[in-house]
Amino acid sequence: MKSFDEFSKPEEYISPMDKHFRSVLRSWAAKEVMPFRRKYDEDWKTHHLIEPAFDKLMGNKGVGIQKALFPEELGGWGIGHSDYAFTVACTLAEEVGRADTAMAVAFMVTYWPLTAILVDPHVNWRLAKEFAPMFCNTDKAVFAANAMTEPQGGADIENIEILGGKTIRTTARLDGDEWVLNGHKLWPTNTGGVCSLFGVPCTTKLGSNDPNDFALIFVPANAKGVTQGGPYEKAGMAADKNGDIWFEDVRVPSWYRAHGPGMDAQVFKEIIPWGLVGSMGFLCGAMLNLYEVLYDFVSTRTYNNKPLKENDAVAGIIGRIAGDIDICRILAYEGARIGDRRNKPYGHPIYSEEVIGKLRNLKDFVSDRAVDIFGKAMDVLGSYGADREWDIEKHWRDIKIIQLWMGGKQLCQMEAARYFFNCKTL
């Protein structure tokens, strides 16, 4: 059998640590996830089964991956100032996503709001020092959340080029040396009772589209006035809890704001590319596992006394699937290279309209191809495609959610049209 490593990735510009990361994560996945992941779908509410696997991935007695972004002098791995940060993120997303995309999402969303304060050139050392012990000095998995989505506007907050934050209803008022937050967030990953630290996009002036009024403020989950609702049951993504958060006169120190007027809006724009590249990594990981399952099935099941893969009709389908996986993996790592700082061939900052438009384009394409090839694979497997034993249907449910988040297809298409066709009103 050929390995899924046969699929293309840009060896000339991936991280020098790539093989090490992959080896460690595959060992963890083989022991802690692959034998149990079918049971994880039933554990969406309590995470009794899932939590120990997260501890071994994220905590100090395991891989310790939750401290990756923090500087070395604070006990982390220093990925936040690496020239390969996006490429490493894509690798981590892919490897954990191969085992369980929901687990990949949950641990990587912990990085997501922290990129605003831990990634060069915008390191906020005061907050880095304050939050480092929470993530770096523990054997337990500790989760953060990018508390972005709101009930009335969905992903409108991401559409910052046009809306400029004017639909945000979560407010922050400066009272002496404290911010006072009020509002309601819905659906952020790592809510539903999991989160220890929120990054909260909010506004200092309701209805304003002035970037100076956009604020990104960090809020500990145990702060007085923070309430988390229980997790919602979804079609998939059982290891990723999503729920409601209410902020009622929540007070945090004034220095818990990421950077300040104007710069908060910029670093929030920089957060978006991380989510897009991570999403492509999750999808590629799921597709690599699809290849493993499909290879086994078409090699061991027969039609007309020959392996299924030797049938012309089946070969045409699986050949197209292999081609799509190869192309999507290339695109995912090209997206990561757009984000990375080294040898900048694109020449634009990651918050630019060009970068966001191109990455939205790539994420939309890879999402569509993933959803399509999982459908094709289920056709090849026939009734086995819906059988939980083969795990195709698990990935199929999970990846559809990836296609839908971060504004879904609509915002991806709008931002691509906005950049490539100079649309002015979208």
pLDDT digits (tens, 9 = 90+) for 16-72: 889 999 999 999 999 999 999 999 999 999 999 999 999 999 999 999 999 999 999
The answer to whether 308 and 314 are in contact (CB under 8 A) is yes
Task: Looking at the structure, give the CATH architecture of the domain made up of residues 146-261.
Answer: Beta Barrel (2.40)
The answer to whether 280 and 359 are in contact (CB under 8 A) is no
The token pair at 194 is 């999991």
pLDDT, position 201: 97
Residues in contact with 29: Cβ distance below 8 Å, sequence separation at least 6, in sequence order:
95, 96, 98, 99
Residue listed under structure tokens 């191809």: 369
Query: Is the torsion defined by CA of 282, 284, 287, 292 positive or negative?
Result: negative
pLDDT, position 425: 79
pLDDT, position 252: 98
The token pair at 120 is 């060069």
pLDDT, position 426: 73
Domain boundaries, the chain: 4-142, 146-261, 264-420
Q: The whole model's pTM is what?
A: 0.97
The conformation of residue 425, written as its DSSP 8-state character, comes to -
For residue 185, what are the β-bridge partners?
Answer: 245
Closest CA to 323 of 369, 368, 391: 369
The conformation of residue 202, written as its DSSP 8-state character, comes to E
For residue 257, what are the β-bridge partners?
Answer: 217
CATH of segment(s) 264-420: 1.20.140.10
For residue 178, what are the β-bridge partners?
Answer: 175, 253
Q: Max CA-CA distance within the chain?
A: 79
3-state secondary structure 381-417: HHHHHHCHHHCHHHHHHHHHHHHHCCCHHHHHHHHHH
Distance CA 212, CA 208 (A): 9
Q: How many CB atoms lie within 10 A of CB 91?
A: 26
Tens-digit pLDDT string for the chain (426 aa): 789 999 999 888 888 889 999 999 999 999 999 999 999 999 999 999 999 999 999 999 999 999 999 999 999 999 999 989 999 999 999 999 999 999 999 999 999 999 999 999 999 999 999 999 999 999 999 999 999 999 988 778 888 878 889 999 999 999 999 999 999 999 999 999 999 999 999 999 999 999 999 999 999 999 999 999 999 999 999 999 999 999 999 999 999 999 999 999 999 999 999 999 999 999 999 999 999 999 999 999 999 999 999 999 999 999 999 999 999 999 999 999 999 865 466 667 888 888 999 999 999 999 999 999 999 999 999 999 999 999 999 999 999 999 999 888 888 998 989 899 998 877
Distance CA 104, CA 54 (A): 10
On whether the 4-142 domain is CATH 1.10.540.10, my answer is yes
pLDDT, position 16: 87
Determine the length of the chain: 426
